[in-house]
């Protein structure tokens, strides 16, 4: 399973009355040790290509169900408590959705004449970050610690973006410095998550990613995201260039994680061309 899915390592099987396992999955174990219950059992009977497709649909359905619950319950309790109620991927994406929502609310208040709207939200961000740091200082298991560290990484970038917007005196949600950021939003009509950057929009793919760390986002990462998402939007290809070990592949994989997409890495040679049979021997 680890060769076919980004983070799926094992499955928990349903048991009959006698305690024997039957071919029906009720939960997912990630490579990082995280466990997530499926929203409904997944039948694993039949041909391998048939039940694998059912498993893929079931894991996407589970992530989407969890995300719906997370977004709707975000305001019901303090964020540092809310984070522990959901899988790491869902908590991270839910945090990014609400960041986009709250920045847009701040812009709306700014247009109504409240000049300190962005500055006030920046203070709230700092408070939230400090709360996460207090959690990290305390006792956490390795899985929860990794989850909080990943959310801290994304939160620091979100804080830096807002500081940049305040310093640039941006007063509209249509400014390029805001539109050029990767923004997750929740559509109530579709009941689904969408990622927007510049004029490109992508539906979140709900690939189960487990409790994986994320890269620290730099200005170069932001520019790389814009280029790669534009090529993806136009159904074209991208070619990050640079010395070995500078993060070209990792940046591309990190963008895939931000969009909930599985990223496959192939080692190519000069003898390969576009006619090459990629999937031969996988």
* CATH number reported for the structural domain that contains residue 47 in this entry: 3.20.180.20
The verdict on 67 and 122 lying in the same domain is no
Give the separation between CA 263 and CA 139, rounded to whole angstroms.
34
DSSP letters spanning 36-54: EEEEEEEE--S-HHHHHHH
The radius of gyration of the chain's CA atoms, rounded to the nearest angstrom, is 21
* Spatial distance between the Cα atoms of 116 and 122, rounded to a whole number of angstroms: 10
Please, are residues 194 and 185 in contact by the beta-carbon 8 Å criterion?
A: yes
* Domain match, 159 and 69 both: no
Phi, psi for 123 (deg, rounded to 5): -65, -40
DSSP readout, 140-175?
--HHHHHHHHHHHHHHHHHHHHHHHHHHTT---TT-
pLDDT at 145: 92
47 and 155 both lie in a single domain? no
Do 151 and 218 lie in a common domain? yes
- Do 93 and 214 fall into the same domain? yes
CB 198 within 8 A of CB 210: no
Q: What is the C-alpha separation between 60 and 38, in angstroms, rounded?
A: 10
The Cα-based distances of 34 to 10, 27, 91, 106, 155 in angstroms read: 10, 10, 13, 35, 22
Domain count, the chain: 2
62 and 95: one domain?
Answer: no
221 and 110 co-located in one domain: yes
Residues 101 and 197 in one domain: yes
In degrees and rounded to multiples of 5, residue 202 shows phi and psi of: -130, 140
- Helix spans in the chain (H): 48-73, 79-82, 88-111, 117-137, 142-167, 176-179, 219-233, 248-258
Judge whether 60 lies within some domain: yes
- Domain of residue 50: give its range: 8-74
Last residue of a domain, one of 74, 93, 110: 74
pLDDT digit string (tens) for the chain, length 282 residues? 777 887 888 888 888 877 778 888 889 998 888 899 998 888 888 888 888 899 999 999 999 999 999 999 998 888 888 999 999 999 999 999 999 999 999 999 998 888 889 999 999 999 999 999 999 988 888 889 999 999 999 999 999 999 999 999 988 889 999 999 999 999 988 889 999 999 999 999 998 988 888 899 999 999 999 999 999 999 998 888 888 888 899 999 999 999 999 888 877 777 777 666 665 554
Residues 139 and 239 in one domain: yes
Give Cβ neighbours of residue 151 (< 8 Å, ≥ 6 apart). 83, 91, 92, 95, 132
The DSSP secondary-structure symbol of 2 reads T
How do strand 183-187 and strand 35-43 relate by DSSP bridges? Answer: unpaired
Q: Are 167 and 186 found together in one domain?
A: yes
- Answering whether pTM is above 0.75, one says yes
**Residue 103, domain member (yes or no):** yes
The Cα 264–Cα 250 span in angstroms is 12
Nearest alpha-carbon partner for 36 in 3, 70, 76, 4: 70
Domain shared by 17 and 43, yes or no: yes
**Is 282 inside a domain boundary?**
no
């Amino acid at each position: 399973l680890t060769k076919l899915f980004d983070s799926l390592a094992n499955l928990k099987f349903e048991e009959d009355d006698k305690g024997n396992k039957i071919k029906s999955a009720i939960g997912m174990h990630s490579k990082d040790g995280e466990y997530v219950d499926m929203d409904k059992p997944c039948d694993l009977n039949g041909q391998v290509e048939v039940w694998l497709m059912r498993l893929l649909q079931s894991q996407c359905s589970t992530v989407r169900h969890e995300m719906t619950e997370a977004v709707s319950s975000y305001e019901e309790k303090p964020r540092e408590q809310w984070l522990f109620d959901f899988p790491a991927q869902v908590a991270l994406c839910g945090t990014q959705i609400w960041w986009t929502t709250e920045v847009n609310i701040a812009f709306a208040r700014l247009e109504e004449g409240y000049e300190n709207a962005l500055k006030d939200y920046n203070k709230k961000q700092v408070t939230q970050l400090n709360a996460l740091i207090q959690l990290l200082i305390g006792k956490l298991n390795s899985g929860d610690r990794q989850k909080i560290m990943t959310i801290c990484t994304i939160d620091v970038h979100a804080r830096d973006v807002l500081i940049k917007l305040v310093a640039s005196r941006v007063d509209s949600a249509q400014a390029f410095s805001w539109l050029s950021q990767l923004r997750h939003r929740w559509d109530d009509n579709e009941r689904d998550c969408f990622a927007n950057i510049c004029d490109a929009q992508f539906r979140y793919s709900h690939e189960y990613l487990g409790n994986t760390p994320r890269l620290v986002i730099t200005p170069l990462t932001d520019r790389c995201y814009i280029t790669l998402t534009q090529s993806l939007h136009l159904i074209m290809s991208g070619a990050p260039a640079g010395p070995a070990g500078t993060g070209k592949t990792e940046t591309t994989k990190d963008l895939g994680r931000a969009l909930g997409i599985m990223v496959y890495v192939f080692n190519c040679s000069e003898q390969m061309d576009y006619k090459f049979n990629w999937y031969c021997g996988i």
